[in-house]
Amino acid sequence: MLELVLAGFVLAVACTAGAVALYERELRRMARFLDGRDPASNERVGVEFATSGTRALARAVNATLDAHGEANAAVFEHARAFRRDLAALSHDIRTPLAGAQGYLQFYERTGDEAECARCVAEARERLAAMRTLTDRLFDHAKAADPDAELTLVRVEVLPLLADVLAAAYPDFLERGAVPEVDFADDEFSATADADALARVLSNLVTNALRHGAGDVRIIQRGRTLSFANAVREGAAPDVERLFDRFYKADVARNGEGAGLGLSIVANLCEKMGASVEAHLEGDELTITLTLAE
């Protein structure tokens, strides 16, 4: 009887030792895999000694690898977008700068008084375009700054919009456009930062004038404010990218502006608890702003 007990004990010890050896081998195999794995690959841990424990470990390791892969892909995409934006910004800065330099060089070579005056005027116009670009970059940096705080209060929207439209009157006149304002509630108010909301409204009006055609319709219903007008022929935007920084619908990048206006709108809306979205139906672009209670 004692011999049977001892034999059983020895067998149990042997089985346990064998199981421990198998677990040890499996763990070492997984460790070698992780040590030799190319971080850029999509390889995943497999299981040779399949138990509930080793399968659970493999799932956890693969989930971690997947999370790291997604994080690396996001970092790569961010870097790629940054390089693309930097190239676009360099183009936007170099173009007016090169133009101003060219006119100043011509100014130095010409002795004609009328040509000198024209060169100075042209150089000033291009330097003014650079100033507008740098101002937009500053506005974008402020709007995107996570540490910049806004003062959220109740703001009456219609009077603020009226001030924005009055300031934009010369632009409407120049383009032969008319703002059509339709408010269902003249006393509509929202929780917002007054200066930030004025910037949002101004950028939306400016965007409609610069990149649209015809009159601009501004419609308030409930908590939404929509800005709609036709897009220029051949300049239909990608609404999925419309609020990206430096995005311009014209691929040659010959249009007005720095491609930052709507990115500033999106950043400020997020900070105020508002939202903004765009829809393109036929040749009409509608940008809808939903303000906070």
Q: From the CA atom positions of the chain, what is the Rg in Å? A: 31
Would you state the CATH architecture of domain 88-144?
Orthogonal Bundle (1.10)
β-sheet with 284-290: strand ranges across: 179-183, 212-221, 224-231, 284-290, 275-281
Structure tokens that stand for 184 in this block: 């269902």
Phi and psi dihedrals of 179, rounded to 5? -80, 125
Phi and psi dihedrals of 290, rounded to 5? -110, 115
* Residue ranges per structural domain of the chain: 2-73, 88-144, 153-290
Superfamily of domain 153-290: Histidine kinase-like ATPase, C-terminal domain (3.30.565.10)
**What residues have CB less than 8 Å from 106, skipping those under 6 apart?**
115, 119
Predicted TM-score (pTM) of the model is 0.61
Using CA atoms, how far apart are residues 7 and 211, in angstroms rounded to an integer? 89
- pLDDT tens for the chain, residues 1 to 293: 656 555 555 555 556 666 677 777 877 887 887 787 777 777 887 777 777 777 887 788 888 877 877 777 776 766 666 566 666 666 667 778 888 888 888 888 888 888 899 989 988 888 887 777 777 666 666 666 666 788 999 999 999 999 999 999 989 998 889 999 999 999 999 999 999 999 999 999 998 998 888 899 999 999 999 999 998 776 777 778 888 876 666 543 444 555 778 888 998 999 999 999 999 988 899 999 999 98
SS3 123: helix
Do 88-144 and 153-290 agree at the fold level? no
Q: Which alpha helices (H) appear in 145-240, and where do they start and end?
A: 157-167, 169-175, 194-211
Relative to beta strand 212-221, strand 179-183 is parallel
Contact 96, 129 (CB under 8 A): yes
